[in-house]
Structure 1
Amino acid sequence: MSDITASAFVRQDLVPERAAPVKTTGLVGFLRTRLFNSPTNILITIVSALLLWFVLVPTIKFLLIDAVWSGKDRTACLAENAGRSVGACWPFIQAKFSQFIYGFYPEPERWRVNLTFLLAAILLLPLLIPRLPAKGINAGLFFLAFPAVAFFLLHGGGLQGFGVSWTAGLLSGLASSVAEAGSALSRAGASLGESTAIAGSLLKWLGWLVVQLGVALHYLITPLTWLREQIQMSGRPVWTDLAVTAAIVSILLFWLNGGTRAGWRPLITSLATFAGIGTIIAMMGLDRGGLPVVDTRLWGGLLVTLVVSVTGIVASMPVGIALALGRRSSIPLIRVFSTTFIELWRGVPLITVLFFATYMLPLFLPTGFSVDGLMRALIGIALFAGAYQAEVIRGGLQAIPRGQDEAASALGLSWWQTTGLIVMPQALRHVIPGLVNSFIALFKDTSLVSIVALFDLLGQLRASFSDPAWATPSTLFTGFAFTGLIYFTFCFGMSRYSLFVENRLNAHRRN
């Protein structure tokens, strides 16, 4: 019985072959699974292909196929002279290339710009490669030493007027300005009538307080002023300034690090650093007037674009971190100030900030003290970008669980240690895309500095259009295509590198 039952379920013929599985790898698999897997995707694919055909093909034809590659003036880029349809006029770019890079920087001194670019690349590339050692020394050279060297390379001049002498002069002007402001407040309070007696008394009291502040500043800087006079009488103020500064800074570092109990390393490091500074001063001749001065009004092109963007990016980060921490502070005064600052600077356009920094900031400076026009624009851009960075960083701070602060407190860590070693590194890792997005936006917004008489890359491009020797129908499109490629190269590079950093820092989260 069991044999009959078992034989009833035994298959006597072969099972039919199954169809081959659908290919999901390679080009065919990609087309089948991504582009043509549904009627909607098929329609979108066809429309996208048509758009690319009608956009990319004419662009490639204009930039490469029909382009003019050689010529001495506009005649080479005219259709009637070329005997065919004319695309991009690349001889125009060749003729104006130095203007796009250097602006009106004197040609004999352009080696200084090239050297600055080279030093920036040498110091920046090791920072971007994670496996290379000595990141601390490299970062110190790039963020601290390089800006000073770049300033004297690009601007020229010596160290006369800097150091103790410059500080004493600035503080003296500040004390005089404060005293004058207090006197003006007192006079305004005295001029008010009896109907506003309370307001008048308040103004007179405030004016008296400001005057006393100016007097206090004057007495505080008296020793510094005496030291300035002695330095000027020495005949070699640069080296005397450097020696005095080195002694003051080294002693302060030695004392703040616990004196002999912590060893002599801080003192030796500080003295070695100032010895390196002295070597650079001697090599560049800064004690003898330095290089010829090139006014910032002659700077332009890619030089100004990089100076403004890099300075804005680097300077806005500490401003943003400070404001983000201040907005989360438990101290009401700091929190209100940070919130007001952020909302005020985010509530006005960058054009307004540039106009204010260029034309109104000098009105608030002490008497006899002036700031270069490019420096004023840099200050305005750094503060403006810092307000946006603050909100991005604050978003990262809010993503950190509160338990980490409590655990750090339980371990006995101070607020500074908790913030610097635990909270802030994680917060910055969370907001890398937002920070880089702000950096890219700032890099492109540098084109707005042309409204305050700073000719960046786009400013020089627009200035070159006025040259009648290159006035052709294709010159305008060629120039904007060239600058667009430059902007795209920098922005795309920042975007790709940020993606690399984000993947590297979040490697522990991948399965």
Structure 2
Amino acid sequence: MSKAVVTDEKLPDLPPPSNTVGPVHWVKENLLSSPGNIALTIFAAWLIYMLVPGTLDWTIISAVWAGGADACRANPEAACWPFVWTKWEQFIYGFYPAESRWRVDFAMLLLVVGIAYLMIEKTPGKRYMGLFMLVIYPIIAWILLYGSVFGLEEVKTNKWGGFSLTLVIALTGIVFSLPIGVVLALGRRSNMPAIRSICVVFIEFWRGVPLISVLFMSSVMLPLFLPEGVSFNDLLRALIGVALFSAAYMAEVVRGGLQAIPKGQYEGADSLGLSYWQKMRLIILPQALKIVIPGIVNTFIGLFKDTTLVLIIGLLDLLGTVQAGIADPNWSIKSVPYTGYAFTALVFFICCYGMSLYSRKIEEKLHTGHKR
């Protein structure tokens, strides 16, 4: 017969039951918790079994890693990575002059350093660095890439290409689409009918046409409406089209965040005597933008992938330079096209997944207990 013991001392915590922790519990809770989950788990395991071994064998195990085109011809049923090593500079710089590629490298280095500075926690002067990256850096990058000033040789934009051109288009669209989208979202919710109508027409027009049509319009039709002797650079036309197209989608994302803010926040700001712009800048927009971080980043990721469409107007981004390399008769090998597209997919996945990871970190940092 056991005896009851009464004590004022704190007893040590007991470990949790063995059936509520560990990998076995995780499998039961997440993979085998119901008949439907069991069926989905079996189906996913079958897909992995069918796809992953063959993919790993083609891309890594049996792939050709060294040598040239002859080595790939000897093994045409596996990935031909020497194609990527040989065309590497073309994939990065396009047809940018070799003697001036240091300018592209320096612009990319500034970009990486600036982004890393903003991502590292507790670094001083982040506000000023953010302003530098938004305002000063684009000017520096354009001077470095285009030249014609400070003794730099001019490099026409038709020689730009590869991954560097992809970054130029994507970053320009990202930098300009967010502020324009915020203004359009505020305008669509304005009490002034003229402002609201203009914003509604703008948003619905750009959302109602595909990006391919926008690029064709900017490249082929726009010059017909310009005065004689006035012209825009092909790349500049594409940048404007991509930025305005993305801004229309961004406006709807931001508008969703504005509508999610409780009415009491607006009334509280009005009761403090704040002006419209003070209310938006200090109270409403910070909350709205925090809510729609996933939607904003989703739009950015879509924009980054849509940069490949500039190929149809003659601008060779990363995908365009890869296709140009595939067309090289010296690399007329069965596995070369698949290798080139696999390389392109990997680069885009790394960039897009990096943006997704960073957005999740921002969400975790900014959420204030309302996250479900």
**TM value normalised by structure 1:** 0.68
Among candidates 269, 272, 297, match of residue 436 of structure 1: 297
Question: Take 1:336 and 1:386, find their aligned partners in 2: how far apart are those partners?
Answer: 17
Among candidates 294, 309, 334, match of residue 473 of structure 1: 334
Question: Take 1:339 and 1:37, find their aligned partners in 2: how far apart are those partners?
Answer: 47
Corresponding position of 1:23: 19
Code of the aligned partner of 2:133: F
Are 1:145 and 2:136 an aligned pair? yes
Corresponding position of 1:132: 123
Structure 1 residue 39: Cα displacement: 3.5
* Cα pair 1:324 1:390 within 8 Å, conserved: yes
Where in structure 2 are the equivalents of 1:385-400 lying within 5 Å? 385-400=246-261
1:122/1:376 Cα in 2 relative to 1: closer, same or farther (>3 Å)?
same
Among candidates 244, 262, 267, match of residue 383 of structure 1: 244
* Cα pair 2:94 2:159 within 8 Å, conserved: yes
Where in structure 2 are the equivalents of 1:103-252 lying within 5 Å? 103-158=94-149
Corresponding position of 1:498: 359
Structure 1 residue 130: Cα displacement: 3.9
Q: Residue 455 of structure 1: SS of its match in structure 2?
A: coil
Cα deviations by residue, 1:284-308 (Å, 9 ceiling, x for unpaired): x2xxxx3111110011110111100
Structure 1 residue 367: Cα displacement: 4.4
Among candidates 234, 254, 267, match of residue 373 of structure 1: 234
Structure 1 residue 41: Cα displacement: 2.6
> What root-mean-square deviation, in Å, do the aligned CA atoms of Structure 1 and Structure 2 show?
1.8
Question: Take 2:262 and 2:370, find their aligned partners in 1: how far apart are those partners?
Answer: 17
Where in structure 2 are the equivalents of 1:408-487 lying within 5 Å? 408-487=269-348
Code of the aligned partner of 1:142: M
Q: Which runs of 5+ in 1 are unaligned?
A: 1-9, 12-19, 159-284
Cα deviations by residue, 1:179-232 (Å, 9 ceiling, x for unpaired): xxxxxxxxxxxxxxxxxxxxxxxxxxxxxxxxxxxxxxxxxxxxxxxxxxxxxx
Question: Take 2:221 and 2:334, find their aligned partners in 1: how far apart are those partners?
Answer: 41
Among candidates 206, 230, 252, match of residue 345 of structure 1: 206
* Cα pair 2:77 2:334 within 8 Å, conserved: no
Structure 1 residue 21: Cα displacement: 5.5
Are 1:305 and 2:173 an aligned pair? no
Q: Answer 1 or 2: higher relative contact order, Cα 8 Å, separation at least 6.
A: 2
Corresponding position of 2:13: none
Question: Take 1:41 and 1:120, find their aligned partners in 2: how far apart are those partners?
Answer: 44
Code of the aligned partner of 1:489: I
Are 1:56 and 2:64 an aligned pair? no
1:32/1:402 Cα in 2 relative to 1: closer, same or farther (>3 Å)?
closer
Code of the aligned partner of 1:62: W
* Cα pair 2:95 2:159 within 8 Å, conserved: yes
Code of the aligned partner of 1:338: C
Corresponding position of 2:11: none
Aligned length: 359
Question: Take 1:329 and 1:65, find their aligned partners in 2: how far apart are those partners?
Answer: 60
Corresponding position of 1:33: 29
Q: Residue 413 of structure 1: SS of its match in structure 2?
A: coil
Q: Which runs of 5+ in 2 are unaligned?
A: 3-15
Q: Percent identity, aligned pairs only?
A: 50
1:464/1:510 Cα in 2 relative to 1: closer, same or farther (>3 Å)?
closer
Question: Take 1:130 and 1:369, find their aligned partners in 2: how far apart are those partners?
Answer: 47
**TM value normalised by structure 2:** 0.92
1:334/1:301 Cα in 2 relative to 1: closer, same or farther (>3 Å)?
same
Question: Take 1:93 and 1:64, find their aligned partners in 2: how far apart are those partners?
Answer: 14
Corresponding position of 2:64: 68
* Cα pair 1:346 1:387 within 8 Å, conserved: yes
* Cα pair 1:440 1:491 within 8 Å, conserved: yes
Question: Take 2:59 and 2:264, find their aligned partners in 1: how far apart are those partners?
Answer: 58
Question: Take 1:427 and 1:43, find their aligned partners in 2: how far apart are those partners?
Answer: 40
Structure 1 residue 366: Cα displacement: 4.4
Question: Take 2:224 and 2:271, find their aligned partners in 1: how far apart are those partners?
Answer: 50
* Cα pair 1:24 1:33 within 8 Å, conserved: no
